[in-house]
């Protein structure tokens, strides 16, 4: 029988050495040029750090936004790393990235740190980052209604195979009647009141972009007020266009629920907050569409337990990640422990949500530590119950948590 120490070592090694398939990010390959964000100034101007800086500086929002990115980065570095201890998770993340890259921060000299990144070449740096993160692939967030991104899809022929696609459709579900104009400009005969051929044209839009992107899933983030079904255009477009197409193409529909957008517009991307969402709508969505597959993550900590229970009720529902304001060690541990106890291996503990390439280094380093800690406790409990724990079992669990549960769900 393996000892507790052996079990803990096996788990730590398996979780650390097993490559992760990161199922939700905002990353782009080097061929998307300016859309691929990387390096210290992008790390420092990540919207999480902007929100934290604006709490501690007297610089006005207007003055901050009028600065160029390098000046913004300098203000953030001075405020959060020099004038205060960088103890928040987002600050700690920057330091973990630098440490893993072997960049010396002992003199806390941003100029010196910048010199390391100035020597990196984007394509090669992608290899370095994926290796340090032990990441096999990431899933992007691809929005065909974003004119800049669309431009790249219309010009780039093939992309780095480590970057998988996801078709993100927030405007198509949430922005009626305005989105009708955007669809019409692209040649789809859509009317703001969904009349005429609009639904058929929305289906054509979805099919065209599924053909072009070959996405692993279709995704949308939803507000805490989202209800299903209701009398809204969101429900009509979901029921009459999105879900039938997703079913036909065997694509999961991923909902990320609980974002209250722009509670402080002066913070721009950092201006979104969280609200408690309606789990009954998730039950009705999954039960009402048994031939669709759904992925779901919810933003409010208060929703995490009921979502894990919902996953027990609907085999077509895959729960994933500790999203955004939940991506903090104290909450990741609570959620991962709760989910392992309720769902065994049938959930995906984490996604990075990385916006800056280098972030996958820290987001996975930090989460792997917690996943391993909880998983080791669970295996020690099994041994205590007389179960003969093997290294192969542990390796299989690590592979399921870091890629297998997701990939098998896609294939089902």
Binding footprint of ligand HDL on the chain (CB under 6 A) = 26, 141, 221, 256, 269, 272, 324, 353, 355
Q: How far is the CB of 383 from ligand HDL (least distance, A)?
A: 37
153 vs 324, which CB is nearer to ligand HDL? 324
Task: Count the residues of the shown chain that bind Zn ion, applying the rule CB under 5 A.
Answer: 1
Choose among 350, 355, 357, 354: nearest CA to 129.
357
**Going by C-beta distance under 8 Å and a sequence separation of 6 or more, which residues neighbour residue 23?**
139, 216, 295, 320, 321, 348, 351, 406
Buried b (16+ CB within 10 A) or exposed e, 15-42: beebebbbbbbbbbbbbbeebbbbbbbb
41 vs 353, which CB is nearer to Zn ion? 353
In angstroms, the first-to-last Cα distance of the chain is: 35
The whole-angstrom separation of Cα 344 and Cα 233 is 37
CB of 258 closer than 8 Å to CB of 275: yes
The whole-angstrom separation of Cα 317 and Cα 312 is 9
The whole-angstrom separation of Cα 310 and Cα 52 is 34
Angle at 346 between CA 345 and CA 352, to 5 degrees: 90
Which two tokens mark 268?
């721009």
228 vs 323, which CB is nearer to ligand HDL? 323
Tokens 């991506």 label which residue? 327
Q: Which residue number places its CB atom closest to Zn ion?
A: 353
Which one of Zn ion, ligand HDL, none interacts with residue 126, CB within 5 to 8 A by kind? none
- Binds Zn ion by CB under 5 A, chosen from 201, 278, 353, 399: 353
296 vs 375, which CB is nearer to ligand HDL? 296
149 vs 353, which CB is nearer to ligand HDL? 353
Q: Where are the beta strands (DSSP E) in 283-338?
A: 294-298, 317-319
Q: How far is the CB of 384 from ligand HDL (least distance, A)?
A: 38
73 vs 267, which CB is nearer to ligand HDL? 267
Q: How far is the CB of 5 from ligand HDL (least distance, A)?
A: 37
* 3-state SS, residue 247: helix
The whole-angstrom separation of Cα 293 and Cα 411 is 11
Q: How far is the CB of 168 from ligand HDL (least distance, A)?
A: 8
Q: How far is the CB of 24 from Zn ion (least distance, A)?
A: 6
Which of the ranges 82-90, 314-322, 348-356, 373-381 carries the binding residues for Zn ion, by CB under 5 A?
348-356
Which one of Zn ion, ligand HDL, none interacts with residue 355, CB within 5 to 8 A by kind? ligand HDL
Q: How far is the CB of 298 from ligand HDL (least distance, A)?
A: 12
The phi and psi torsions of 279 (rounded to 5 degrees) equal -70, -25
Residues β-bridged to residue 295: 254, 318
Tokens 């996975």 label which residue? 364
Which one of ligand HDL, Zn ion, none interacts with residue 304, CB within 5 to 8 A by kind? none
Bond from prior residue into 355 cis (ω within 30 degrees of 0) = no
Which of the ranges 206-214, 239-247, 337-345, 351-359 carries the binding residues for Zn ion, by CB under 5 A?
351-359
**Which positions from 267 through 286 interact with Zn ion, judged by CB under 5 A?**
none
41 vs 201, which CB is nearer to ligand HDL? 41
Q: How far is the CB of 45 from Zn ion (least distance, A)?
A: 17
The whole-angstrom separation of Cα 16 and Cα 70 is 34
221 vs 292, which CB is nearer to ligand HDL? 221
Which one of Zn ion, ligand HDL, none interacts with residue 153, CB within 5 to 8 A by kind? none
Q: How far is the CB of 199 from Zn ion (least distance, A)?
A: 28
166 vs 394, which CB is nearer to Zn ion? 166
Positions in the binding site for Zn ion (CB under 5 A): 353
């Amino acid at each position: 029988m393996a000892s507790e120490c052996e079990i803990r070592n096996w788990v730590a090694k398996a979780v650390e050495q097993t490559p992760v398939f990161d199922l939700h990010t905002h990353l782009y390959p080097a061929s998307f040029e300016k859309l691929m964000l990387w390096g210290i100034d992008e790390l420092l101007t990540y919207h999480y750090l902007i929100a934290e800086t604006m709490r501690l500086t007297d610089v006005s929002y207007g003055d901050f936004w009028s600065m160029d990115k390098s000046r913004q980065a300098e203000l953030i570095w001075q405020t959060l790393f020099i004038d205060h201890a960088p103890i928040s998770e987002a600050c700690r993340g920057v330091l973990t990235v630098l440490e893993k890259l072997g960049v010396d921060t002992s003199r806390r000299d941003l100029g010196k740190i910048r010199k390391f990144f100035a020597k990196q070449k984007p394509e090669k740096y992608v290899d370095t980052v994926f290796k340090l993160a032990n990441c096999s692939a990431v899933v992007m967030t691809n929005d065909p209604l974003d004119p800049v991104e669309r431009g790249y899809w219309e010009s780039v022929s093939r992309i780095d195979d480590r970057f998988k696609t996801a078709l993100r459709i927030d405007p198509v579900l949430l922005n009626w009647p305005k989105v009708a104009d955007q669809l019409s400009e692209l040649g789809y005969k859509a009317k703001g009141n969904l009349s005429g051929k609009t639904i058929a044209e929305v289906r054509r839009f979805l099919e065209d972009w599924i053909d072009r992107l070959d996405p692993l899933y279709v995704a949308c983030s939803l507000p805490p007020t989202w209800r299903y079904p209701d009398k809204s255009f969101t429900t009509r477009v979901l029921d009459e266009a999105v879900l039938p197409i997703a079913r036909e193409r065997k694509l999961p529909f991923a909902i990320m629920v609980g974002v209250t957008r722009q509670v402080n517009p002066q913070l721009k991307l950092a201006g979104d907050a969280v609200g408690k969402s309606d789990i009954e709508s998730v039950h009705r969505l999954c039960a009402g569409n048994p031939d669709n597959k759904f992925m779901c993550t919810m933003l409010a900590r208060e929703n995490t337990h009921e979502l894990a229970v919902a996953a027990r009720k609907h085999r077509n529902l895959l729960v994933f990640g500790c999203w955004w304001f939940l991506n903090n060690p104290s909450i990741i541990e609570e959620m991962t422990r709760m989910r392992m106890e309720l769902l065994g291996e049938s959930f995906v503990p984490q996604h990075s949500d990385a916006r800056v390439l280098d972030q996958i280094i820290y987001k996975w380093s930090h989460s792997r530590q917690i996943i391993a800690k909880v998983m080791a406790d669970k295996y020690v409990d099994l041994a205590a119950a007389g179960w003969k724990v093997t290294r192969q079992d542990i390796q299989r669990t690590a592979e399921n948590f870091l890629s297998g549960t997701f990939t098998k769900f896609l294939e089902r």
